[in-house]
C-alpha cells in the first residue's frame, strides 16, 4: 500500500443483519459471511441472503469457504450475490485462477508458507495465522516480518489475531492493501456478535495508521 492510501477493511464472521448494519456505519469496506461447517461463525444460505440483501450496494460481500467445487461456489455466489470468495482450503493455484473474483487465504508460520502464498494468482491474497485443523479465526498473530516483501509485491490482506489494540501496529509495520478481523471485534463471550465500539475503533485506528 502506498503512503496515504486508504486500507481495505473487512469485518469477518458477520451473522446477522444488525451487525452488518453496524459494520457499514463504522465505515468498513467488506463483511465476511462464513460458510465453513466447523466455524462457530457459520451462517446458512438463507441467513446469509438476508444479511446480504440488507447491506447490498453499501459494502462488499465476501463468502468464506473451504474446499468446495467450482460448481458449488458458483451456486453459492449466485444465491447470495457475493462479490468475492475467500478460499481457506486446499485449493490449488490453478483452481483459484479459474474462478472469477476469488482470492486465496494462506496460513503463515515460516518462510515456506510465504512462498506458497506467493504462488497463488489473483488480484488479492490473504495471509493468516497458521493453525493445524483450523481455517482462520484463531485469534493469534503470526510473525509479520515474514510477509514484509510479499506486502510490497502484492495486494495482501493481513489477518490473524488483529484487534483495535494492534491493528495500527500492523498497518505501520506492513502497509498492506487490507486488514481482516473477526474475533478481535466480537462481544466478550459471544463469538457470533460484534461489539459496535470495537468495530468502530478497529476501522478508525486502521485508517489513521495509514496516513503519512
Alpha-carbon span 28 to 118, nearest angstrom: 26
For the chain, give the number of residues.
212
Alpha-carbon span 107 to 100, nearest angstrom: 22
Beta strand spans in the chain (E): 8-11, 30-34, 60-65, 84-87, 102-108, 125-129, 156-158, 178-181, 186-187, 190-194
Q: How far is CA 185 from CA 17, 94, 99, 155, 192, in A?
A: 16, 34, 30, 23, 11
* pLDDT at residue 153, as a whole number: 97
Percent of the chain with pLDDT over 90: 92
CB atoms within 10 A of CB 44: 8
- Taking the alpha carbons of 191, 195, 201, 204 in that order, is the dihedral positive or negative? positive
What SS3 class is residue 161? Answer: coil
Q: Please identify which of the residues 19, 128, 180, 195 carries the catalytic annotation.
A: 128
pLDDT tens, residue by residue, 38-95: 999 999 999 999 999 999 999 999 999 999 999 999 999 999 999 999 999 999 999 9
Q: Is the pLDDT of residue 136 over 70?
A: no
Q: Is the pLDDT of residue 135 over 80?
A: no
Burial class (CB in 10 A: 0-12, 13-18, 19+), 131: middle
Q: What is the mean pLDDT of residues 89-102?
A: 97
Whether 113 is a known active-site residue: answer: no
Is the pLDDT higher at 211 or at 138? 211
* Chain mean pLDDT for the chain: 95
* pLDDT at residue 139, as a whole number: 78
Q: Please identify which of the residues 12, 19, 180, 195 carries the catalytic annotation.
A: 12
Whether 151 is a known active-site residue: answer: no
Amino acid at each position: 500500500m502506498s503512503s496515504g492510501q486508504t486500507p481495505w477493511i473487512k469485518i469477518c464472521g458477520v451473522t446477522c443483519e444488525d451487525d452488518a448494519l453496524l459494520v457499514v456505519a463504522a465505515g468498513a469496506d467488506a463483511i465476511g459471511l462464513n460458510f465453513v461447517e466447523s466455524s462457530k461463525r457459520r451462517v446458512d444460505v438463507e441467513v446469509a441472503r438476508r444479511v446480504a440483501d440488507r447491506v447490498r450496494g453499501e459494502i462488499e460481500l465476501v463468502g468464506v469457504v473451504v474446499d468446495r467445487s467450482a460448481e458449488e461456489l458458483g451456486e453459492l455466489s449466485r444465491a447470495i450475490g457475493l462479490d468475492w470468495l475467500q478460499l481457506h482450503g486446499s485449493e490449488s493455484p490453478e483452481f483459484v485462477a479459474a474462478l472469477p473474483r476469488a482470492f486465496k487465504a494462506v496460513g503463515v508460520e515460516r518462510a515456506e508458507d510465504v512462498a506458497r502464498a506467493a504462488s497463488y494468482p489473483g488480484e488479492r491474497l490473504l495471509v493468516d495465522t497458521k493453525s493445524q485443523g483450523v481455517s482462520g479465526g484463531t485469534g493469534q498473530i503470526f510473525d509479520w516480518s515474514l510477509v514484509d516483501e510479499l506486502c510490497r509485491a502484492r495486494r495482501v490482506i493481513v489477518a490473524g489475531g488483529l484487534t483495535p489494540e494492534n491493528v495500527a501496529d500492523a498497518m505501520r509495520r506492513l502497509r498492506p492493501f487490507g486488514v481482516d478481523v473477526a474475533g478481535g471485534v466480537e462481544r466478550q463471550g459471544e463469538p457470533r456478535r460484534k461489539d459496535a465500539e470495537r468495530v468502530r475503533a478497529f476501522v478508525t485506528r486502521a485508517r489513521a495508521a495509514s496516513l503519512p
